[in-house]
C-alpha cells in the first residue's frame, strides 16, 4: 500500500496527456505547491544553514521514525527487494537512481541501504517539497534529504557541499533522473542527465533500480486497489576514466535507461511503448 492523496484522477489525466506528447519529465500532480523562486531559494538556504542544528537533528529522527512506522505497517510481508548483492559487489559511495511514482517510494531504498550494510540513505529532493504543508511535508523535508533547486549559485554552493559530505561519508545518494513523480506509473521514463554528470564528476558509480508495481486484490479506496512493490537492484554503472565527465554522463545515462527498460520488459513480459492505457497506473480501477 502507498498513500493515495487527493486529485488522483486529475493526476492520471495529466500523465495521459504528458505521455502522449512525450513530456516525460513534466509535473503532473495537480496540487504541487508553487513558490516565487527567490522566496523558495531563501527558504532552502535557511534549511541548509540549520541542517546540523540540534532541532534539525531531532526533526530528522522523528521523520525517520514516521517512515519506519509506515514501512512496518504497509511493507512488511508484502514488498520485496531483489538484487541486494549488487550493492555488495563494490565499496564506497554511489548514486542510486529510481523510477518515481509516489512521494514515499524511497522507503524500500532506505531498507535496501540498511540490508546492504550501507547505513542511512540520503535522497535528492525537489525544493518545493520543503514548503509542502502537513505531515507529508514534514517528512519530505526532514528524512535525510538534500534540496534541489535550479539556481546556479545554490547548485554550485550549498548543494554540492552537502552532496560531497554524503559521498565522503561513503553514503548512497538516491536521485530521480525522471525528475517529477508520476503517480503509480509503471513504465520507466527517459531521465535528465544531471544525476550522471554528478556521478562522473565525483568518479563514483551509479546503481540503477527499477520498482515493479503489482496490483493486489485488496482495496485501498473505491477506485484504487493496494499495490505490491518489488524493488529490482540492477548492475552498477562505473565511470570510464578515459572519458570526460560530459562524455561519461551521456554514456551512463543511456546505460541507466537501457537497464530500466530491460528490467521493465523482463518483469512485465511485454515490450515498452508509451501508448497510454489504464494498466499503466498500478492499482487503478478507472477507465477513460
Residue 118 domain flag: yes
CATH (domain of 181): 3.40.1130
Q: How many CB atoms lie within 10 A of CB 144?
A: 19
Residue 98 domain flag: yes
Residue 3 domain flag: no
Instruction: For residue 45, give every residue at least 6 positions away whose Cβ sits within 8 Å of its Cβ, in sequence order, or none.
Output: 154, 158
Residue 125 domain flag: yes
Angle between helices 245-268 and 194-202 (to 10 degrees): 120
Domain limits for position 44? 8-280
Give pLDDT, residue 251: 97
Give pLDDT, residue 3: 53
Residue 288 domain flag: no
Give pLDDT, residue 1: 47
Residue 115 domain flag: yes
Q: Quickly tell me which residue has 520488459 as its cell.
A: 265
Binned average pLDDT, 10 residues per bin, the chain of 288 residues:
70 96 93 78 86 89 82 69 95 96 88 92 85 78 86 90 94 94 96 93 96 86 86 98 96 98 98 96 82
* DSSP 8-class letter at 185: B
Give pLDDT, residue 217: 80
Residue 1 domain flag: no
Q: Quickly tell me which residue has 530528522 as its cell.
A: 60
Per residue in 157-179, pLDDT (tens digit) is: 999 999 999 999 999 999 999 99
Residue 287 domain flag: no
Give pLDDT, residue 104: 80
Number of structural domains (the chain) is 1
Give pLDDT, residue 75: 60
Pairing of strands 172-175, 206-219: unpaired
Coil vs helix vs strand at 228: strand
Amino acid at each position: 500500500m502507498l498513500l493515495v492523496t487527493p486529485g488522483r484522477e486529475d493526476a492520471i489525466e495529466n500523465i495521459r496527456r504528458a505521455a502522449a506528447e512525450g513530456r516525460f519529465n513534466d509535473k503532473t500532480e495537480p496540487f504541487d505547491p508553487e513558490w516565487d523562486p527567490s522566496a523558495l531559494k531563501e527558504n532552502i538556504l535557511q534549511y541548509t544553514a540549520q541542517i546540523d542544528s540540534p532541532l534539525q537533528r531531532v526533526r530528522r529522527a522523528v521523520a525517520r521514525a514516521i517512515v519506519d512506522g509506515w514501512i512496518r505497517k504497509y511493507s512488511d510481508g508484502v514488498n520485496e527487494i531483489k538484487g541486494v548483492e549488487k550493492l555488495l559487489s563494490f565499496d564506497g559511495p554511489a548514486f542510486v537512481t529510481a523510477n518515481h511514482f509516489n512521494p514515499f517510494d524511497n522507503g524500500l531504498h532506505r531498507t535496501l541501504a540498511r540490508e546492504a550494510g550501507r547505513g542511512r540513505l540520503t535522497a535528492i529532493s525537489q525544493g518545493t517539497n520543503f514548503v509542502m504543508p502537513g505531515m507529508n511535508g514534514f517528512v519530505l523535508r526532514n528524512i535525510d534529504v538534500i534540496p534541489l533547486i535550479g539556481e546556479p549559485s545554490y547548485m554550485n554552493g550549498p548543494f554540492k557541499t552537502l552532496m560531497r559530505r554524503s559521498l565522503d561519508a561513503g553514503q548512497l545518494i538516491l536521485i530521480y533522473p525522471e525528475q517529477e513523480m508520476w503517480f503509480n506509473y509503471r513504465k520507466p521514463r527517459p531521465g535528465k542527465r544531471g544525476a550522471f554528470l554528478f556521478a562522473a564528476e565525483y568518479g563514483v558509480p551509479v546503481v540503477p533500480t527499477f520498482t515493479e508495481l503489482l496490483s493486489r486484490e485488496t482495496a485501498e479506496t473505491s477506485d484504487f486497489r493496494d499495490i505490491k512493490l518489488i524493488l529490482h537492484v540492477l548492475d552498477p554503472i562505473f565511470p570510464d576514466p578515459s572519458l570526460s565527465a560530459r562524455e561519461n554522463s551521456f554514456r551512463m545515462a543511456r546505460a541507466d535507461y537501457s537497464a530500466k527498460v530491460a528490467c521493465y520488459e523482463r518483469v512485465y513480459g511485454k515490450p515498452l511503448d508509451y501508448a497510454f492505457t489504464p494498466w499503466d497506473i498500478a492499482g487503478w480501477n478507472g477507465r477513460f
